[in-house]
Every structure is written in structure tokens, then in C-alpha cells.
Amino acid sequence: MRLTPILLSLVTVSLAAPANYFDDAYDFSDELSDYYSKVSQYINRVKKSTSPSASCDTSKISLPSFASGLPAPNGTKPMYVALGRGTQNYTCADSTSASTPFAIGAVANLYNATCLAANYPDLLESLPNIAYKISLPTTEYATFPPANLELIGHHFFTSTIPEFNLDTTEAKQFGVALTKKESSLNAPSTAVKGEYGAVAWLYLSTIEGTVGNYKGVYRVNTASGSPPDTCEKMPSSFEIQYSAVYYFYGS
Ligand SMILES: *[C@@H]1O[C@H](CO)[C@@H](O)[C@H](O)[C@H]1NC(C)=O
Ligand SMILES: *[C@@H]1O[C@H](CO)[C@@H](O)[C@H](O)[C@H]1NC(C)=O
Ligand SMILES: *[C@@H]1O[C@H](CO)[C@@H](O)[C@H](O)[C@H]1NC(C)=O
């Protein structure tokens, strides 16, 4: 039931905002204008439709086609889809070109994009391209602009284990996926690179300790997040902003 308000608020924002607002806030780009033009098309379609499908039928969810380079979900089913927004963290042994950045994990908020994935997958596909430049809300449970998505969890590393914790409030306990990287795929050449490149697409399987029916997690539609090739002039630890879409599959 949420889709129409989401889309309408997007359009309201874009119509209300003067062009230079986006210049300052989001670095107006071709991606962004493409995004908003898609939104307008969807709005028109929703308006024309006599029975606008505002449902979140997870059986309609499928991975973007480029993810066919990762292990297929086989018998598992899509459970949730989340927009991830945060940082990839790295360390450098020194500040010379002789050493390379070492990935120490990610810290990201996860926002509920299940409805978008079920109904408007290509809209969701381009969302990380602008999301990685948008600051996280300072209030913990605030929705994430520009699509007003609700917080559904947090992604972080517990020592070296990628964790997706979908328990937020007392009323919203959706479990915890503890994972292990199984497979990675270089982001497509069309990915938005940010300063140094988009992080790889991934397939992670769940491991012991997982709470809930999660079997696998896909990280796709990545934007930015990669480190420079070498540590030249880099500090001993640093963060690179990124965004991605996470698909949670299970039984
Ligand atoms: C699904 O099955 C195919 C074919 O056996 C296999 O290559 C792939 O790794 C499987 N996917 C997962 C997530 O295990
Ligand atoms: C990674 O960066 C975040 C800030 O985005 C910080 O809060 C966190 O402590 C860092 N984690 C590690 C392991 O350095
Ligand atoms: C995500 O949003 C949909 C639609 O509002 C809702 O049905 C679903 O329960 C939400 N999922 C989580 C994990 O909050």
C-alpha cells in the first residue's frame, strides 16, 4: 500500500526543488536525471492504471540479469530486498605506492526496498547511483531519501564475518544473517564508480548462528566503495562511501 505515496513524494520533491538544489546536494548528474525521468514515467503509469498494484509480492522479485554471473538462488526464495548505504573501510600499512589498501569490512544501514524490487526493479537498480552521495539521516529510524525507505537493519562485520542484522525495534525482529563470501563478480562497466570504482557484486551464503530462514545474500547494483589501487598518500585507515542493493534469499 506504500508504493504510490513513495512515488508521489519523490515527484513532489523533484518538482519543488530548484535545479541548483540538486547541484549542491547530490551533484546533479545524468544518472540522477535518468532516475527522475523514470519516476515520472512510473507515476503516469500508476495514475493510468485502474487497479494500481501496490502490493509487495515477493514471488515477483528476481535478481538483475547481470547477477547471472553469480551462483543462482536455485530453490531458495526472495525474502527481502534492502538498499544498503554506508562505507567500505580499509587500512594501509604505510602511505606509499608499494602497499595496497586492505579491506576490513563495511558498515551500512539497510532500508526496506522489497516493494520497489517487486514492482519497479529498474527504478531500484539505479537507486544506489545517487544514494551513495546522500548522507545517512542523523536520526536512527528516519527514512532514507529520496525514496522514503524504512530502516530494516544494519550491515557490519563481527570480526571477519559479514553480518546482516534485521532486528531493529522490538516490533521488528526479522532475524540475523551471518554470512560467508562464496563468489564475487566485478561490477559491470556501467556501474557508477565514485572516486575509485564500484565494489564487486557478491554472493554470500549463510553460516551457523543465523537466525531466521536466510540461506543466501546477494550484493548487487553497487555504486562506489572501492579503494585506490595503492596506499600512496592514504592515511592508515579510511572509509569509502558506497551503496548497493542486497537481496535476501531463504526458505
Ligand atoms: C545452484 O545450482 C548450480 C548448478 O548446480 C550451482 O552451480 C550453483 O552454485 C547453485 N547455487 C547456489 C547458491 O549454491
Ligand atoms: C568503519 O567506518 C565507520 C564509519 O563509517 C565506523 O563507524 C566504523 O567504526 C569503522 N569500522 C572499522 C572496523 O573500522
Ligand atoms: C518491508 O516493507 C513491506 C511493505 O511495507 C512490508 O510488507 C515488509 O514487512 C517490510 N519488511 C521488513 C523486513 O520490514
At CA 107, angle to CA 103 and CA 111, rounded to 5?
A: 135
Widest pairwise Cα distance in the chain: 62
Using the predicted structure, report yes or no on whether residue 191 has a pLDDT greater than 90.
yes
Number of domains composing the chain? 1
DSSP assignment letter at 147: T
Share of the chain above pLDDT 90, in %: 67
> Which residues lie with the beta carbon below 6 Å from any ligand 2 atom?
87, 89, 104-105, 107, 239
Using the predicted structure, report yes or no on whether residue 6 has a pLDDT greater than 60.
no
- Is residue 249 very low, low, confident or very high in pLDDT (cuts 50, 70, 90)? very high
C-alpha 8 chain-centroid distance: 21
Residue 115's pLDDT is 87
Using the predicted structure, report yes or no on whether residue 16 has a pLDDT greater than 50.
no
How far, in Å, is the centroid of ligand 2 from the Cα of 235?
14
- Is residue 25 very low, low, confident or very high in pLDDT (cuts 50, 70, 90)? very low
Residue 20's pLDDT is 41
Q: Which residue among 63, 70, 74 is best mutated to probe the pocket of ligand 1, counting the most ligand atoms within 8 A of its Cβ?
A: 74
In terms of residue numbers, what domain contains 106? 5-250
Cα–Cα distances (Å) from 231 to 61, 93, 101, 107, 199, in that order, read: 40, 8, 6, 21, 17
Exposure b/e, 190-203, CB count within 10 A at least 16 = b: ebbebeebbbbbbb
Residue 116's pLDDT is 87
- What mean pLDDT do residues 222-247 have? 98
pLDDT in tens, 44-82: 666 566 443 456 889 999 999 999 999 999 999 999 999
Per-chain mean pLDDT for the chain? 86
Residue 174's pLDDT is 97
**Residue nearest ligand 1's atom 9 by CA:** 71
Using the predicted structure, report yes or no on whether residue 88 has a pLDDT greater than 80.
yes
Residue 2's pLDDT is 36
Q: Is 214 in the pocket of ligand 3 (CB under 6 A)?
A: no
